Structure 1
Amino acid sequence: MEEWARTWLQEQRQKGERCIEIKEIQGKPYVYRSTSVYDRTTRSPKKVSTYLGRLTKEHGLIAKGTRGAGTPTQPRSVYEHGNAALMAEELGELIPVLREAFPTCWQEIVALTVTRTAAYTPLARVGDAWGKLDNVLGITPDCDLGALSRVLTAIGSDHAAQQAVFRHLSTQAHQLVYDLSFVFSRSDIFNLGEFNNNTDNVWLRQINIALFIATDTRLPTMFRVLPGTVGDAATLIASLTESDTARTTLVLDRRTVSEANETLLRERKIPFVVLQRRNNARYATRIHLTDHFFYRKRLIRAGKREVNGLMLYLYEDADLEIEEKKTLYRLLEVGQIDRETLNQRMKRAGRILLLSSIMADPQEIYELYKSRNTVEDHFDVFKSLLLADKPYLQDATAVFGHIFTEFLCSHLYCRIQNRIEQAGLSAHLSPEELLLKLSKVYTVVSGGEKRTNEVPEQIQGVAGRLHIDIP
């Protein structure tokens, strides 16, 4: 017990107060009145303590249920610091480019990018999400719903500003190109997309884009909205006329490439990788599985063979084979397939066939195609955001602005993903999980003073491996 507390207690006893004692709880003094009563069960006295209040050096006893005269409540705010600091650091290189390209609304663009990378955030909740984060960048964006809607329209109509950002992100490295589709409902107010079948075989209006990703950094560098319906690769090739196709590799869905398109790609000398349908005749080509590697702890056997100037890469996924065989037998049991169909499909269970114009190691081609899955998963979240924000996107330009901000989110997301992979933690940690962990590191602002709470030991370990500086 500190000397000033002991002095206070002695003064109270001199004043005639009896049965008062001080208990220290977590290093702070609390005052109790302690008496004893007879316990009939134990037939002995039993101590009973009644809490009177907290003792302070400045104000003496602050009685229970009151704050005491002269002890006004200090304003106190708590903000998520760890996740905000990481995103500010990763976005730091791009902020000057955004400031120059979009001088009137770059702060709102940053707020949209940061809040939507951290978590699923419809436009109507961006203001609340921004208010939770520590303003590490010291900016003052207008997160009012109406203001953000106008910003999206301004972004979508400024093609030159978007191109300035793309030029900064593009490098001399080769780039991967993915074709992606965004599907809308029948009641959609937009008329910029074409009607087409989606993966669920529903005839709906959709927008198609080509997304460019640098092979050296695995970061998105630009996107282009594709005109009309992407029925085959010809439409995608036409959209690349302004690009250096010698530095471009198309990573395509199997629906987009016919044999005629394969010829067109070869004539234009555009490298490509495309997944073959399971009923493709090329599966009958004999390819020996002489190689093997592990992809995310899954055993993959692989082989390759040149056919008519193109390379066929065959892969056998042991885990996928088991799952597909289970599914086929379930379909047989419920009568959805017959025994003959079962036997035919069993021969190709767990097998993946890729056609490419690139001569390379089978593992390199496999990882090249699998990178498409990461892109599609991230953009699936964007589709949900776009549908949630439809009431505030009144025209085509606002939709283009929406796609641009999502592109920036993807760029920031991939930067965080790269950081995790470089630390060797990708098997245990995703960008979403990392941002959630770091959100537990808070900044507390009280009475004009700003401080960061104590960082949990587990987060300190992760931050150390990722070289994240959290004060």
Structure 2
Amino acid sequence: MEEWARQWVQEQREKGETCLEVKVINGNTYVYRSTSKYDKETKGPKKVTTYLGRLTKKHGFIPKGEKAAVIQPRTVHEYGNAAFLAEEAAELVPHLQEAFPGSWQEIVALMFARITGYTPLYQVKDRWEKLDNILGIAPNCDPQVLSQTLTAVGGDYAAQEGIFQFLSSQSNRLVYDLSFIFSHSDTVNLAEFGYNAEGAYLPQVNIALFSSLDTNMPVMIRALPGSVKDVSTLAGSLEGIDTDNITLILDRGFVSEENETLLQQLDINFILPMRRNSKRYEKRIHLKEHFFYHDRLIHAGSRETGALTLYLYKDVDLAADEEKTIYRLFSEGKIDRNTLNERMKRAGKILIISSLIAPPQEIYELYKSRNMVESHFKTFKDLIQADKLYLRDATSVFGHVFVGFLCLYLYCRIQNRIRKAGLLSHLSPQGLLLKLSKVYSVNSGTDKRITEVPKQVRTIAEKLQFNIIPIKTGV
């Protein structure tokens, strides 16, 4: 008899059970009660053995006529973050289902898996399976299938347009900015060598991003061929979008008479800051107005010049900083008196030319809205790190960029909700999802329950107006 069986017998005797006998037959352990009674024929005791049941190391004692209790396998998934993602994606999912009927589930899986950070295709399945399947979908997360999905999505231009039109229809004012992503693939004909703000001379794919001033949300993205400094290249990216609602906020790299003329011919509103050496600074513009922008005093004025309007601003704080720098350079002998005088004339000043006629403060705030789009670009680049290096062709680039854009959309929705709750100063979207992941769902096959919500998570959920109260539900 094995030690575990001997120990069980000892425990029963300590409980007062007597006359127990354990037999091992064909590797199985059986329990009997052995007693004796008087046998009249033999004039002596006769052994009486009664079968009680089986004894197993796993289930313990199993009485006669009963079966071993079957322990249902349990699965544990991250519930809090999955439920929040499902809630934030609820408005978009039906449109994805309509636009991409054969691959929308894989797109959703990619969005949910990659929203929390760097996730190559081969890790999507593991990341997806950690989440509670709130939407009840069954995506195929095999890396090869996901790669084919990206290519198929990238080639379905009409379906992408349907999503862009849905998103842009919710905004009355759109702003536009440009950036790039690097590509190390020799087969992507969109990629061109060029210098950039990062000082690298590498093949890069130019990206145009539209964002909404009304919702602080990205609404459209384009991968562009050719030079992004050529406005004619941008015209094609505006197809399918109501240009009456678009204001192109461009950087100084677009400054040229040809670009200004083309934008006017296309009847597209634009805001374009002038270079500091622009001769347009010589035009006299009286700074008759003032306003405050983030507690900074701004003097402002405007002047029409043909069909366009010049807007001049002087940031008092910026002017003070620049004046100190200019005089320091003069004191160190790095500039002469004439250069000092010229630079002092433009210290703290920003000159903008625009097709819009509006109060100077409105134009200034539109110009500063580029910060929002630049922030969107930074987040977008972080979200698409996983597969950017080796994209085989232009179609896969389009698909990769589009899915990355959807991740950005979901990220910004979460960020806006955090901002509305007043938590943005100390909580990021990734940080929020990490905290919510502490709430799990436990599924035993016949029953599903949600684990207790930690106090800190419950407090955050209440501020977000997110219902995360644990409930017990049958499956």
Please report the TM-score for the alignment, with normalisation by the length of structure 2.
0.73
Say whether the 8 Å CA contact 1:311–1:358 is kept in structure 2. no
Code of the aligned partner of 2:290: D
Provide the secondary structure at the position in 2 that maps to 1:312: strand
- Matches of 1:243 and 1:199, distance apart in 2: 29
- Pairing 1:2-17 to 2, within 5 Å after superposition: none
Task: Name 2:235's counterpart in structure 1.
Answer: 237
Alpha-carbon displacement from aligned partner over 1:193-227 (angstroms, at most 9, x marks no partner): 33333223444332223333344333333333333
Say whether the 8 Å CA contact 1:275–1:352 is kept in structure 2. yes
Task: Name 1:288's counterpart in structure 2.
Answer: 287
- Pairing 1:321-360 to 2, within 5 Å after superposition: 338=335, 348=346, 351-360=349-358
Comparing 140-149 with 411-420, greater Cα deviation is found at 411-420
- Report the structure number with the largest CA radius of gyration: 2
Alpha-carbon displacement from aligned partner over 1:70-124 (angstroms, at most 9, x marks no partner): 8998755443322222221121122122112212211110011122223233333
Say whether the 8 Å CA contact 1:316–1:351 is kept in structure 2. yes
Task: Name 1:413's counterpart in structure 2.
Answer: 411
Task: Name 2:226's counterpart in structure 1.
Answer: 228
How much does 1:369 deviate? 3.0
- Pairing 1:89-238 to 2, within 5 Å after superposition: 89-171=87-169, 173-185=171-183, 188-238=186-236
Task: Name 1:394's counterpart in structure 2.
Answer: 392
Say whether the 8 Å CA contact 1:174–1:249 is kept in structure 2. no
Task: Name 2:460's counterpart in structure 1.
Answer: 462
Residues 434 and 255 of structure 1, relative CA distance in 2, 3 Å threshold: same
Say whether the 8 Å CA contact 1:294–1:300 is kept in structure 2. yes
Alpha-carbon displacement from aligned partner over 1:277-323 (angstroms, at most 9, x marks no partner): 3333344554527423243xx535241312314141425273x6677
Task: Name 1:305's counterpart in structure 2.
Answer: 302
Code of the aligned partner of 1:240: L
- Matches of 2:216 and 2:89, distance apart in 1: 16
Alpha-carbon displacement from aligned partner over 1:46-69 (angstroms, at most 9, x marks no partner): xxxxxxxxxxxxxxxxxxxx9994
Say whether the 8 Å CA contact 1:275–1:354 is kept in structure 2. yes
Comparing 107-116 with 217-226, greater Cα deviation is found at 217-226
- Matches of 2:177 and 2:363, distance apart in 1: 18
Tell me, which stretches of 5 or more residues in structure 1 are unaligned? 1-10, 16-65
Say whether the 8 Å CA contact 1:183–1:198 is kept in structure 2. no
Q: Percent identity?
A: 52
Residues 343 and 459 of structure 1, relative CA distance in 2, 3 Å threshold: farther
Comparing 103-112 with 265-274, greater Cα deviation is found at 265-274
- Matches of 1:274 and 1:288, distance apart in 2: 19
Task: Name 1:259's counterpart in structure 2.
Answer: 257
Residues 355 and 444 of structure 1, relative CA distance in 2, 3 Å threshold: farther
Alpha-carbon displacement from aligned partner over 1:318-367 (angstroms, at most 9, x marks no partner): 3x66776788799899x895466677656655554433222334443333
- Matches of 2:70 and 2:368, distance apart in 1: 60
How much does 1:150 deviate? 1.0
Say whether the 8 Å CA contact 1:80–1:134 is kept in structure 2. yes
Say whether the 8 Å CA contact 1:184–1:387 is kept in structure 2. no
Say whether the 8 Å CA contact 2:117–2:383 is kept in structure 1. no
Code of the aligned partner of 1:211: L
Say whether the 8 Å CA contact 2:273–2:353 is kept in structure 1. yes
Code of the aligned partner of 1:303: A
Provide the secondary structure at the position in 1 that maps to 2:238: coil
Alpha-carbon displacement from aligned partner over 1:417-455 (angstroms, at most 9, x marks no partner): 332344444455443343333333333445754333333
How much does 1:155 deviate? 0.6
Residues 94 and 187 of structure 1, relative CA distance in 2, 3 Å threshold: closer
- Matches of 1:234 and 1:421, distance apart in 2: 37
Alpha-carbon displacement from aligned partner over 1:140-161 (angstroms, at most 9, x marks no partner): 2222221211110111111222
Code of the aligned partner of 1:280: S
Code of the aligned partner of 1:91: A
Say whether the 8 Å CA contact 1:120–1:381 is kept in structure 2. no
Residues 336 and 387 of structure 1, relative CA distance in 2, 3 Å threshold: farther
Say whether the 8 Å CA contact 2:310–2:351 is kept in structure 1. no
- Matches of 1:455 and 1:328, distance apart in 2: 58
Say whether the 8 Å CA contact 1:149–1:392 is kept in structure 2. no
Residues 449 and 291 of structure 1, relative CA distance in 2, 3 Å threshold: farther
Provide the secondary structure at the position in 2 that maps to 1:118: coil
Say whether the 8 Å CA contact 2:183–2:205 is kept in structure 1. no
- Matches of 1:363 and 1:168, distance apart in 2: 30
Say whether the 8 Å CA contact 2:118–2:385 is kept in structure 1. no
- Matches of 1:413 and 1:113, distance apart in 2: 10
User: RMSD of aligned C-alpha atoms?
Assistant: 3.7
Provide the secondary structure at the position in 2 that maps to 1:293: strand
Code of the aligned partner of 2:298: R
- Matches of 1:336 and 1:121, distance apart in 2: 53
Tell me, which stretches of 5 or more residues in structure 2 are unaligned? 1-11, 17-56, 62-68, 470-475
How much does 1:397 deviate? 0.9
Residues 14 and 124 of structure 1, relative CA distance in 2, 3 Å threshold: closer
